[in-house]
Copies of this chain bind each other. A is one copy, B any other.
Amino acid sequence: MPKHRLTTPGPTQVPEQALLAMARQVTHHRTPEFRCLLAEVLADLKHVFVTENDVLLLTCSGTGAMEAAVVNLVPHGGKAIVLSSGKFSERWAEICEKFGIRPVRYEVPWGQPFEPGRVEQLLRQHPDAVAVFSTLMETSTGVGHDIKGIGQVVGRSDALLVVDGISGVGATECRTDAWGIDVLVVGAQKALMTPPGLALLAVSPAAWQQIESIDRPAFYFDLPAYRKALRGPNTPYTPAIPLVAALAESLRSIRSEGIEQVWARASLLSRATRAGIEALGLELFAARPADGMTAVRFPEGIDGKALLGRLQQRFGVKLAGGQGPVAGKIFRIAQMGLCDELDVISTLSAIELVLVEMGQPAKLGAGVTAASRVLAQTGGELCPHPGASDEAAAELRR
């Protein structure tokens, strides 16, 4: 029975309680039981997103929710500023173009962050832009963008701020209301530790005002229908019921810790990973690395695909490679969700061992040692493992 160690930035590993919730017989969604479950999920999501805005639940991938944000906010022929820094932020522009919306691109090279000052200039040059589409964590490069800073400059304009937080939210700090995010898009299969199939949107009153002022080519993604269904609360179309049950379990665990502690853990594990990677003589790819994910350049002259394949065959460690222009040039390790200190150590150890096996000059133990030094600075309070006390046992029996 080989062990599988899924360490990609989505899908991520799902807690046992969430997996078991999916093994229960399906119930109907037009029932008090489902409304009760959904109400709990939506309340917990508000905690995780740090928002009082409406939270909507869609059955689709994150891309579907990105489309929903675009077509509900910007009319055909309208203009939007798109901050593009990799595969997923560029997707905002692709969606805009598909729907006859003119994207004004602010492009930075892959691996680089956006500068809020440049966003401010663009907003001045394009006062007719309806929205700024940006990204919290660019999953293709591991960059964590300065959404707080971007939110300040967008807040001084008439444009709405839309943030793709699909892979970032729940790992890296994101304060929806305080930072002025009008529409936050989130995927459940990343830091929210739920299998793929659900996407979430948090929509501000200002965004609703814009949504209601335009006609849109949307039926399944027509957001006012989801808002109306919130009265149940319910969803306008049949939702992926077992995934909602799984999400409820994962959110219970996040909420019981508190989102600030969850962010702090992802930050600690990411710092430890970065220290380990650099101690191995490898180079980080992101100029401003996000908490929750680490992108690393393959060493010169190594066959990246062979390295990733060997990590999986030898140790069951599944990492993500690069996409598009960085395919074969980088690999990506997640530090989000169900990830703790020893997962970081194991992953670094596997990388060390495989690098040495492949004839690379990595020093055995250097990566795990450097990471351990970072981890040793905390007393372990960020990665609690409740011991076998009577209280913990009673809790598990409930």
Which positions 1-49 of chain A face chain B at CB distance < 8 Å? 4, 6, 8, 10-14, 19-20, 22-29, 31
CB-defined contacts of A197 to chain B, threshold 8 Å: 59, 197, 239-243
CB distance from A34 to the nearest CB of B (A): 10
Which of A19, A61, A98 lies at the interface centre, i.e. has the most chain B CB atoms within 10 A of its CB? A61
Residue A218 is within 8 A (CB to CB) of chain B in the complex: yes
Binary interface encoding of chain A residues 212-225 relative to chain B, with 1 for a CB under 8 A from any of its CBs, else 0: 00000111111000
Contact partner, A26, options B24, B28, B195, Cβ 8 Å: B195
Chain A interface, >50% SS class? loop
In whole angstroms, how far apart are the Cα atoms of A243 and B26 in the complex? 12
Which of A12, A26, A99, A189 lies at the interface centre, i.e. has the most chain B CB atoms within 10 A of its CB? A26
Contact partner, A13, options B25, B61, B239, Cβ 8 Å: B25
Binds B, one of A62-70, A106-114, A175-183, A348-356: A62-70
Residue A360 is within 8 A (CB to CB) of chain B in the complex: no
**What's the number of copies of this chain in the assembled complex?**
2
Contact indicator A64/B26 (Cβ below 8 Å): no
Smallest Cβ-Cβ distance to A235: which chain B residue: B61
Smallest Cβ-Cβ distance to A60: which chain B residue: B60
CB distance from A380 to the nearest CB of B (A): 25
Contact indicator A241/B25 (Cβ below 8 Å): no
CB-defined contacts of A13 to chain B, threshold 8 Å: 25-26
CB distance from A339 to the nearest CB of B (A): 14
Contact indicator B196/A240 (Cβ below 8 Å): yes
Contact partner, A238, options B29, B62, B243, Cβ 8 Å: B62
CB-defined contacts of A59 to chain B, threshold 8 Å: 59-61, 64, 196-197, 240
Contact indicator B6/A219 (Cβ below 8 Å): no
Residue A145 is within 8 A (CB to CB) of chain B in the complex: no
Given contacts A98-B218, A195-B242, A318-B28, contact A237 B63 (CB under 8 A): yes
Residue A95 is within 8 A (CB to CB) of chain B in the complex: yes
CB-defined contacts of A11 to chain B, threshold 8 Å: 26-29, 238, 241
Can you give 11 A-B contacts (C-beta < 8 A)? Answer: A6-B26, A6-B27, A20-B23, A22-B22, A22-B23, A22-B242, A23-B23, A62-B238, A71-B217, A98-B219, A243-B243
